[in-house]
Amino acid sequence: MVDTLPVSFGYENIKRVIIPENELKARIAEVGKCISLEYSEKPLLLIAILKGSFIFLADLCREITVPCEVEFMRSSSYVGNSTVSTGNPKDIFGIDKDISKYHVLLVEDIVDTGKTLVRVTEQLKKLNPLSLKVCTLLDKPERREVDFSPDFALFIVPDVFVVGYGLDFDEKYRNLPYIAEVSL
C-alpha cells in the first residue's frame, strides 16, 4: 500500500508523510497484542483523550483481544489554530464512571511537553484506579518540559507539527489515514 498526498483543495500544506498507514496499522497490532497479554484476566478500561485520539483508540481497541471498556474525556493545551502548546492544559472533564474497579489505560494521540499528561494522570490517580498507564501514538521527547514518559509510545516523531490519523490543525486533517508534517 502506498500512501500518497491528497491533491484536492485544502491539503496543499502537507509537506510529507512521516508515518504511512501500513506502518501505523502494523505497530498498533503489535502493541494491541502486548496490551492483551499485560491485561489478561484484569478489568481493563481504555480512556481516550478527545479529540485527537479517537481514531487511534478505535483501531487499538480492535487489536486488544481481552475484554475492555471505553470512556472518553477532554483536555487540551492548544487554543484555536495554534501550533504550540500553551503549557496550561484545560481541566479534564467527561469521566463519570467509577474507575476504582479498573486497570486504566489512558490513550493519547501525542505527548509533547508532557504537561497535559502529568495533570490528567494526577487527576485520574485521585479516582483510585487499580493501575494507571499511558499509551500514546506519538511521542516528541525533545519537546518535554516535565518529567513524564508514557508506558507505551508507538512512534517517536521529530519536533515538527504533525496531522492526520485524528490529529488536527484547526480541526482539519484528522481524516488523513497517515501521519504527515504540515507547513503553516
Q: Which residues are catalytic?
A: 112
Selection from 79, 61, 153 nearest residue 114 by Cα = 153
Closest to 73 measured CA to CA, from 93, 102, 46, 53: 93
What whole-number distance in Å separates Cα of residue 132 and Cα of residue 154? Answer: 18
Q: How many CB atoms lie within 10 A of CB 108?
A: 25
Distance, CA of 54 to CA of 47 (rounded, Å): 10
Amino acid identity at 73? M
Secondary structure letter of residue 90 according to DSSP: P
